[in-house]
Amino acid sequence: MHSEVGASGRDRKGPRRRAKLGRALLAALALLPCLAEAADTQPRVAVLRTSRIGPFADAIGALETALRADRRQPEILTFDLEAGGDVASAMESVRRSAPAVVVSVGSLATSLALEAAPPLDAPIVFSMVLYPAESGFLSGGRAITGASLDVPPREQLSTLQRLLPEAHSVGVLYSPRETGAVVAAAKPVAERLGLQLVSEAVDEPSKAPVVLDSLMKRVDALWTVADGGVFTPQTTPALLLAALRSRKPMLGLSPGQVRSGALAALVVDYEDVGRQTAEIVGSILGGRRAADVPITHPRHVTLALNLRTAELLGVKIPPDVLSEAHVLVQ
Amino acid sequence: MAGVKLEPTKRPVAAVSWYVLALAVVLLGASLAGAAPPPAERELLLFDEVVVSAAGKRLQVESDAPSWVSIVTQEDIRRFGVRTLGDALALVPGFYGTYDRNYEYVGVRGFLRPGDYNNRILLLVNGLTYNDDVYGSAPLGYDFGIDLEAIERIEVSRGPGSALYGGNAIFAVVNVVTFDGTTMPGVRPLAETGSDYRWRFQSTLGHRFASGPEVFVSGSYLSVDGPGKLYFPEFDTPETNGVAVDLDGESAGNFYMNARWGDLFLQGGVNRRDKSIPTGSYGTVFGVPGTSTLDGRQFAEVLYQTALRPDVQLTARGYYGGVTYRGRYRYENEDGSLYVNHDEATSNWFGGEVRGLWTLGDWNVLTVGAQYDDHPDVRQRNFDPGVPPYIDDSRSYTNWGVYLEDEVRIAAWLSVVAGARYDDYYDRIGEFSPRVGVILRPLQSTNLKLLYGRAFRPPSIYEQYYAGDGDPAQFANPHLDPETISTYEIDLEQGLWGEAHGTLALYHYELDDLIDPVQVEIDGVSGTKFENGPAASAYGLDVELRQPLPYHSLLRSSFSAQRVRSQGAQLSNSPSYLGKVELLFPVPLGPFDVDAGAELLVVSPRKTLAGGEVGTVNTLNLNLWYETPLPNLVLTLGLYNLLDQRFEDPGGVEHVQDAIAQDGLTFRTQVRYAF
């Protein structure tokens, strides 16, 4: 019986293997200086976060996964900016790490990154931020871009139109300081769609239900903007109930609002926003200036529906809309 | 007369002052610190919250409530095939049910005392107190009186609620929120049948008029014969062989309505429920028909809510409640003939409440209110026809309370809720009930609640004055002190992976002056008397995980462990642990659109009153929901105790049985339609 792996066979291949091993070791030694140089030039990305879980965490997870797949193999450094924590120390740590790009996740982290004193040297890429322009993030002359959470008003209003083809006037509550610019920008968009956008300003959240009460008498449906001066834990339930009782369909802000009575909401894929952020970071690491990289809008958006609300309001959801929607309540 | 306390029970003024001072310090400190709270992160508006209303007498989100709030939705009721309010509460972590073949009881975190008629939980219907004023009882079976199909959701706030609601809110406040003309329009009838010759017909009707008013009505009739034969070994004699034949029947009729017109809300209802008793309770003759109870409730409420200013909301309500109980108990004369003893209670009461809600910006919500109830004629009778009554007690009483609660949002990650209520019952019991909750949100999906509360239960009229020289005798005790409870709790609510959500609660309860029936001998006559007993304490934890799954499926599981002791011994009917697994999932049956709800309930062994033990309860229920191709036509099939497990619940003091056998496999099927 012939054995291919006999003792004599091992003896015969031994010198050849030892020679190969020797060559590999020499090659590795020769490459060491190159590897050390590569480690020195490996770009660093500092991720500033205010939360480790929830949608922010989903986005950060997708961001990190995508960055690890980047050919430049950036080193990812994560900094926690917890509410009440020592933000100045955290920013100093960010500065010392000399990142090539700073990623700020959420409005709070972005605001803290922009307010850092002395200013951070690296360009800032925000992620998961609502209304970055209206928040003043783009107006300070800083190198900043990012992946926003803004679903363009045109997409929102046209969704409302598809849901409610017979609606002609759409109401919206806003606080001038927070979302005045968002609503102003939406008006011509609504006009182009053949809708009349009726806006009512709210100077403090507690007055929102009263203002909504008068607004609902003049409109066919309600649109919402993410405005902390309108929606608070105290006013949100009251606004949802008021809309339901007035039989006015509302395009809400979140799945939670849909479950609590809003007819529908556009829901963003937060992980994909994380991936969009990674693409922007990749562009900057590849040499593009932050100012040259456009701010992105969410590209994966689904429609959440409350069919019980639809039934209550007598709204017949068009079959094509229903087929592509994610039904939360039926 | 051993064990009777005669001293008055007003709390010392010094103690009250201490509480007020502490409250004032907390409020002042919080107010100063909260003058300029940082704004919340805007993106958080896109993330989820659940609306609740019970915990703070106003609409608020679950994470802001100063207690762990569980919600049982109409979706849960339908998809799990829930039959009674008691069944619905058994879905909630830390809650477990007991049935003595007459009334349903619910235990909370290991506490369920014999004969308490659920008077240690406060039951509300749209915020209106539903416990009666004779026994303080919260009806949870078919005596509840409101169809489950009329319920939008049930909000369960664990822990003491006396700081806002007054008496009886010892272990939990359960708020039943009904549908109205807006939220359940149209006509929706259903017919159901099932095991033991069960028939039930029910319908809701909701409508909103173009001019604004809306109305909602729900009514039903139930008839069920119950198991044809029930075997109780304690009565196994040659005459009956221990078998109660056709003695477990039940019938119930419910009517409920509400209406809303602008700021005005009206609700009311009436129900009657008749139940035959097969267990030979209270020493009645076993195996013969005629022992039964009739329970009836009627109530009405007018509520007006208006905004005096954009930041000031005023709520005023007036209400009426009535209760009727008629027990018929068959006993044997010395000559062997049978007679019927009548045991009855009736009461009608009236009350009102005014409440103000003042919102100061986004950071402070102040609630103040006052409540007054008048009970002009609470009557209890026990008599045999043709002879003077053994008990004929008629009395009146009043109770009133004032309360204040403030929620201060000091920072986006920190809120403090502090409040207190003072109650007066019977012009002799004054109770001060404070509550403080510190709610921390250190991370976006983390909610940490540090809670302290104190609550009380006034002795019921029944416990104080149900007295007569029958056989056995029942002794009055008009000097009963209220039960009190102090609770310390840490709740951690944590968003997990994806949409998964977990809750961990650690708690310690201290109960004083627990009111229990005890056997006493007074002047050579032995009988039963309610007395304040020794203190009891509990340590425990509840863990819950909610995990949404693909295909509209949902998994909820919970585990509860508790150690409830008094005088060094485990209390009766107190399981050491509870386990629940609830799964909602679609059933792939080809073209048929079937949804299923399965629940597995595990209750560990419980001590009985006689010192024995009932074994572990493992019940698996399965409910199928089929939306037929015909529009709006739904068929359901519920299989209860699917594995046909044999299990028992502990008996009460009125039972010879130390443990009472429960039903094996039963079923229920429904046809539902919506116009």
d(CA B43, CA A130): 6
Tell me what percent of chain B is helix, strand and coil, each rounded to the nearest 5. 10, 55, 35
Judge: A253–B46 Cβ closer than 8 Å, yes or no: yes
Question: Which pLDDT score is estimated for B438?
Answer: 96
Question: Which pLDDT score is estimated for B421?
Answer: 97
Least CA distance to B413: which residue of chain A? A83
Question: Which pLDDT score is estimated for B158?
Answer: 92
Judge: A238–B182 Cβ closer than 8 Å, yes or no: no
- Going by their DSSP bridges, the two strands B391-411 and B613-614 should be labelled as unpaired
Instruction: Work out the angle at residue A210's Cα, subtended by the Cα atoms of residues A208 and A212, and round it to the nearest 5 degrees.
Output: 65
More confident site: B631 or A132: A132
d(CA B114, CA B97): 13
The CATH code for residues A153-268+301-329 is 3.40.50.2300
Q: How many domains does chain B have?
A: 1
Query: Across all residues in chain A, what is the average pLDDT?
Result: 83
Q: What is the pTM of this model?
A: 0.75
- Chain B, residues 166-195, CB within 8 A of chain A, namely 182-183, 185
pLDDT digits (tens, 9 = 90+) for A143-181: 899 999 999 999 999 999 999 999 999 999 999 988 898
Judge: B42–A54 Cβ closer than 8 Å, yes or no: no
Q: Which of A56, A244, A259 has the CB atom closest to B444's CB atom?
A: A56
**Which residues in chain B have Cβ-Cβ distances shorter than 8 Å to A244?**
182-183
Pair B432, B420: CB distance under 8 Å = yes
Judge: A53–B413 Cβ closer than 8 Å, yes or no: no
d(CA B232, CA B242): 5
Q: Which of B40, B59, B552 has the CB atom closest to A237's CB atom?
A: B59
Burial of B161 (0-12, 13-18, 19+ CB in 10 A): buried
Q: Establish if A241 touches chain B: CB-CB under 8 angstroms.
A: yes
The ipTM value here is 0.75
Question: Which pLDDT score is estimated for B668?
Answer: 97
Judge: B51–A53 Cβ closer than 8 Å, yes or no: no
Least CA distance to B65: which residue of chain A? A233
Least CA distance to B207: which residue of chain A? A312
Q: Which of B39, B311, B443 has the CB atom closest to A228's CB atom?
A: B39
Describe the strand order of the beta sheet including B473-475 as a list of residue ranges.
B473-475, B525-532, B515-522
Amino acid occupying residue B548:
P
- Structure tokens of A174? 């806003």
A-B contacts (CB, under 8 Å):
125
Amino acid occupying residue B524:
G
Secondary structure tally for chain B: helices H, strands E: 5, 41
pLDDT digits (tens, 9 = 90+) for A205-262: 777 888 888 898 899 999 999 988 888 766 787 788 788 877 889 999 988 888 778 9
Judge: A226–B46 Cβ closer than 8 Å, yes or no: yes
Q: Which of A204, A227, A244 has the CB atom closest to B182's CB atom?
A: A244
Pair B317, B128: CB distance under 8 Å = yes
DSSP conformation letters of A2-47: --TT-HHHHHHHHHHHHHHHHHHHHHHHHHHHHHHHHHHH--EEEE
Tokens 């409302």 identify what position? A160
What DSSP character marks residue A192?
A: H
Least CA distance to B185: which residue of chain A? A312
Q: Establish if B47 touches chain A: CB-CB under 8 angstroms.
A: yes
**Which residues in chain A have Cβ-Cβ distances shorter than 8 Å to B362?**
205-206, 232, 234
Averages of pLDDT over runs of 10 residues in chain B (675 residues) are 30 35 35 33 68 64 80 90 96 95 95 87 96 96 96 92 94 93 86 96 90 90 96 92 95 97 92 97 93 97 86 91 97 92 96 91 85 97 91 96 93 89 96 96 83 96 89 87 97 82 94 90 86 93 89 88 91 94 87 88 94 93 91 92 94 91 96 90
d(CA B53, CA B62): 9
Pair B75, B153: CB distance under 8 Å = no
From A321's Cα to the closest Cα of chain B, the distance in A is 19
Amino acid occupying residue B398:
T
Upper half-sphere CA count for residue A244 (Cβ side, 13 Å): 29
Q: Establish if B412 touches chain A: CB-CB under 8 angstroms.
A: yes
In a domain, B6, yes or no: no
Pair B56, B407: CB distance under 8 Å = yes
Q: Establish if A30 touches chain B: CB-CB under 8 angstroms.
A: no
Q: Which of B46, B59, B311 has the CB atom closest to A238's CB atom?
A: B59
Q: Which of B59, B185, B413 has the CB atom closest to A83's CB atom?
A: B413
d(CA B652, CA B487): 27
Amino acid occupying residue B402:
V
The CATH code for residues A41-149+270-292 is 3.40.50.2300
Q: Which of B40, B183, B310 has the CB atom closest to A312's CB atom?
A: B183
Q: How far is CA B207 from CA A145, B183, B191, in A?
A: 52, 9, 22
Residues near B582 by beta carbon (within 8 Å), at least 6 away in sequence: B80, B91, B554, B555, B556, B557, B597, B598, B599, B600
- Chain B, residues 467-506, CB within 8 A of chain A, namely 494-496, 498
Q: Establish if A104 touches chain B: CB-CB under 8 angstroms.
A: no
What's the residue count for chain B?
A: 675
Question: Which pLDDT score is estimated for B582?
Answer: 94
Judge: A52–B413 Cβ closer than 8 Å, yes or no: no
Judge: B442–A82 Cβ closer than 8 Å, yes or no: yes
d(CA A70, CA A62): 13
Q: Establish if B308 touches chain A: CB-CB under 8 angstroms.
A: no
Question: Which regions of chain A carry the CATH code 3.40.50.2300?
Answer: 41-149+270-292, 153-268+301-329
Closest CA to A193 of A173, A227, A167, A226: A167
Q: Which of B49, B63, B411 has the CB atom closest to A83's CB atom?
A: B411
Q: How many other C-beta atoms lie within 10 A of the C-beta of residue B469?
A: 12
Asked if the peptide bond before residue B478 counts as cis, ω within 30 degrees of 0, the response is no
Judge: B47–A82 Cβ closer than 8 Å, yes or no: no
Q: How far is CA A172 from CA A202, A209, A232, B247, in A?
A: 10, 12, 16, 62
d(CA B252, CA B295): 9
Question: Which pLDDT score is estimated for B19?
Answer: 34
Residues near B359 by beta carbon (within 8 Å), at least 6 away in sequence: A206, A234, B311, B312, B313, B365, B366
Pair B478, B452: CB distance under 8 Å = no
d(CA A55, CA B272): 50
d(CA A115, CA B497): 32
Query: Burial code of B306-331, b = ≥16 C-beta within 10 A, e = fewer?
Result: ebeebbebbbebebebbbbbbbbbbb
- Three-state secondary structure string covering A261-326: CCCEEEEECHHHHHHHHHHHHHHHHCCCCHHHCCCECCCCEEEEEEHHHHHHHCCCCCHHHHHHCE
- Structure tokens of B656? 């010879």
Which range of residues forms the domain containing residue B289?
13-673
- Chain A, residues 141-180, CB within 8 A of chain B, namely 149, 178
In a domain, B1, yes or no: no
What DSSP character marks residue A84?
A: T
Q: Establish if B33 touches chain A: CB-CB under 8 angstroms.
A: no
- Structure tokens of B201? 């017909």
pLDDT digits (tens, 9 = 90+) for B252-302: 999 999 998 878 999 999 999 999 999 999 999 999 999 999 999 999 999
d(CA B534, CA B273): 36
d(CA B465, CA B134): 10
d(CA B257, CA B250): 24
Residues near A151 by beta carbon (within 8 Å), at least 6 away in sequence: A266, A268, A297, A298, A301
Q: Which of B41, B307, B310 has the CB atom closest to A50's CB atom?
A: B41
Most distant pair of Cα atoms in chain B: their distance:
83
- Residue B71 — φ and ψ, nearest 5°? -120, 125
Q: How many other C-beta atoms lie within 10 A of the C-beta of residue B633?
A: 13
Judge: A240–B61 Cβ closer than 8 Å, yes or no: no
Burial of B401 (0-12, 13-18, 19+ CB in 10 A): buried
Average pLDDT (A93-121) is 90
Q: Which of A50, A204, A240 has the CB atom closest to B361's CB atom?
A: A204
Q: What is the CATH number of the domain that holds B380?
A: 2.40.170.20
- Chain B, residues 239-298, CB within 8 A of chain A, namely 260
From B155's Cα to the closest Cα of chain A, the distance in A is 14
Least CA distance to A129: which residue of chain B? B43
d(CA B599, CA B583): 6
- Going by their DSSP bridges, the two strands A250-252 and A196-201 should be labelled as unpaired
In a domain, B272, yes or no: yes
Judge: A312–B443 Cβ closer than 8 Å, yes or no: no
Q: Which of B47, B361, B412 has the CB atom closest to A54's CB atom?
A: B47
Q: Establish if A59 touches chain B: CB-CB under 8 angstroms.
A: no
Categorize the per-residue pLDDT at A38 as very low, low, confident or very high, splitting at 50, 70 and 90: very low
Q: Which of B42, B182, B359 has the CB atom closest to A226's CB atom?
A: B42
Question: How far does CA B90 lie from the centroid of its chain?
Answer: 10
d(CA B359, CA B246): 59
Tokens 């040499």 identify what position? A287
Given a cut of 60, whether residue A21 has pLDDT beyond it is no
Q: Which helix (H) or strand (E) covers residue B51, if one does?
A: strand B51-52
**Which residues in chain B have Cβ-Cβ distances shorter than 8 Å to A206?**
310-311, 359, 361-362
- Residue A285 — φ and ψ, nearest 5°? -65, -25
pLDDT digits (tens, 9 = 90+) for A22-35: 565 555 555 544 44
Q: How many other C-beta atoms lie within 10 A of the C-beta of residue B302?
A: 15
d(CA A50, CA B442): 10
d(CA B655, CA B217): 39
Classified as helix, coil or strand, B406 is: strand
Residues near A110 by beta carbon (within 8 Å), at least 6 away in sequence: A104, A124, A126, A129, A132, A135, A137, A146
**Which residues in chain B have Cβ-Cβ distances shorter than 8 Å to A209?**
307
Q: Establish if A232 touches chain B: CB-CB under 8 angstroms.
A: yes
Judge: B183–A244 Cβ closer than 8 Å, yes or no: yes
In a domain, B190, yes or no: yes
In a domain, B196, yes or no: yes
Question: Which pLDDT score is estimated for B497?
Answer: 76
Question: Which pLDDT score is estimated for B322?
Answer: 97
What's the residue count for chain A?
A: 330
From B404's Cα to the closest Cα of chain A, the distance in A is 18
